[in-house]
Structure 1
């Protein structure tokens, strides 16, 4: 198996066509087809479905595609690590951010990287926490912002912020408390719209609720932040979340956030990297900048409900 075969296969899947991939790769289509056939023979599995409409990955092809991407990413990182200098880092850094954090961190971080390190290309991926963990393990991303649930021992990690969670409803909702806060025991009795269990925030809520001898009864599971917002605005229920993903709606008076009494509900946001795959100089530079930007956002009050857990480092 050769690296060029991995590049060829990834290009075919990305372009959905042997002919388009051949043009991009500057290789004759019959030669490209032959390379794919050799790869399939070596693996003992069909990787692509070929039809008049183009090509699609088989189940084996989808699995192999993820591994091929990770291998090619690590090879490129190795080249960058050898070529770049420590005083002027350059190259591509892939950073994964959960949906519920991206609204607070993504844009300020993009701006900071462009200003501090113009020769670094930052690739941001917004996914569920469980997906980011798998991508970080495989090497498809270099860094990931994750939630510390006590099971991040496989990664090198540093705490970024502690985020308070609040009870949030549509403005004037039938589920809104009559006071300016709501006891946890009352909150869990109401219909709640929450991310699924594979989402980092949900296990944290469930654990705290159980520790208080309570349980959540009526739950609508929604993994999309956009759909969750729509369900809240339709007054299908309330939610327990940090303020950040719903900040715009709260600031515009569409939603209202209430402190929860009776138990402290928060989550620790952590920056993680692989213990087995070393970071390039560019990766280390972005790592330091994430810590610095997160700290600054907390101090300025831009990241509402968040308290910095790390000292800001100079970029």
Structure 2
């Protein structure tokens, strides 16, 4: 049994008949049939049930199909590892961006990578930070931008900046006229936050616990829905300035500073040390860090950058 036979077998199983599989594989159907006969004889079991409409898998055939697919996927990933060892990083890199940052960061990141790393195929995943953290830990992401990320094994991170959170209100709201709001006072109004275990809610609840405040707030994990709630005046939203730049430019929202205290969080570019494309992942992480730093330096992204030295150092968490 070899990789070629497994590839043939998987294609037959997915095509449902030999003739269609032979067309996809670009080999003669008699040759394909002989390969499957040889495989069944070698294993000593029947893998395919042949009938007028084509073929279906036997129970043992289904088991082989499941294993064969995983083997072929691993072979493809090994190819990416080898390619990533070349001078020019290439291959697929999956990147996770928080919902609050994706709208503003996604396009500049894609444009910068197209210019600086054209051989990398980027897969962008948008989700709330808590989900991205889990995706990274379970190997579904190579790189992610995370807020106050969890420390765990097999990741390196570069802490980029500190971002203050603000209260978003509709135009003409009394707090917009007031110009600022205390952390305690903002809970006199209806507030909407992402639900637990989202980092945003955790940060707010930790601030509240330290200052003897009860943070009553509805839960919503959809940024567009949070935006609609704020625009309608049904609830006020807590987000970083960067999250609702488009709405503010259109005059649909006003950002009100939160004082005494001002909640904030740290943003880090996090890289999985288990990535099957380490060189590609490192290249993407560097481009992301550079794009973020440029946006902060230009004032597009309101945040406080770490020092140049801190930005350039990736640290492994303690085990």
TM-score by length of 1: 0.76
| Pairwise CA distance, 1:144 | 1.4
> 2-side partners of 1:170 and 1:23: how far apart?
61
Q: Please, which of 262, 265, 269 is the counterpart of residue 264 of structure 1?
A: 262
3-state SS of the aligned residue for 1:236? coil
| Pairwise CA distance, 1:215 | 1.4
Alignment correspondent of 1:38: 60
Alignment correspondent of 1:194: 193
Alignment correspondent of 1:282: 280
Note the residue ranges of structure 2 that are not aligned, 5 or more in a row: 30-47, 313-319
3-state SS of the aligned residue for 1:125? strand
- Cα RMSD, aligned residues only: 3.5
| Pairwise CA distance, 1:187 | 0.6
Larger radius of gyration: 2
Alignment correspondent of 2:209: 210
Cα–Cα, structure 1 residues 207 and 68, in superposed 2: closer, same or farther, change >3 Å?
farther
| Pairwise CA distance, 1:103 | 1.8
| Pairwise CA distance, 1:186 | 0.3
Is this contact kept in 2: 1:189–1:216, CA < 8 A? no
Q: Please, which of 258, 273, 298 is the counterpart of residue 271 of structure 2?
A: 273
Alignment correspondent of 2:306: 309
| Pairwise CA distance, 1:76 | 3.6
> 1-side partners of 2:130 and 2:291: how far apart?
24
Is this contact kept in 2: 1:162–1:306, CA < 8 A? yes
| Pairwise CA distance, 1:25 | 6.0
TM-score by length of 2: 0.75
Q: How does 1:155-304 map to 2 (within 5 A)?
A: 155-173=155-173, 176=175, 178-217=177-216, 219-277=217-275, 279-303=277-301
Note the residue ranges of structure 1 that are not aligned, 5 or more in a row: 48-63
Alignment correspondent of 2:44: none
Question: How many residues in Structure 1 have an aligned counterpart in Structure 2?
Answer: 279
Output one character per residue of 1:209-252: Cα deviation in whole Å (capped at 9) or x when no partner: 211111112x2211111111111111111111101121111122
> 2-side partners of 1:23 and 1:302: how far apart?
55
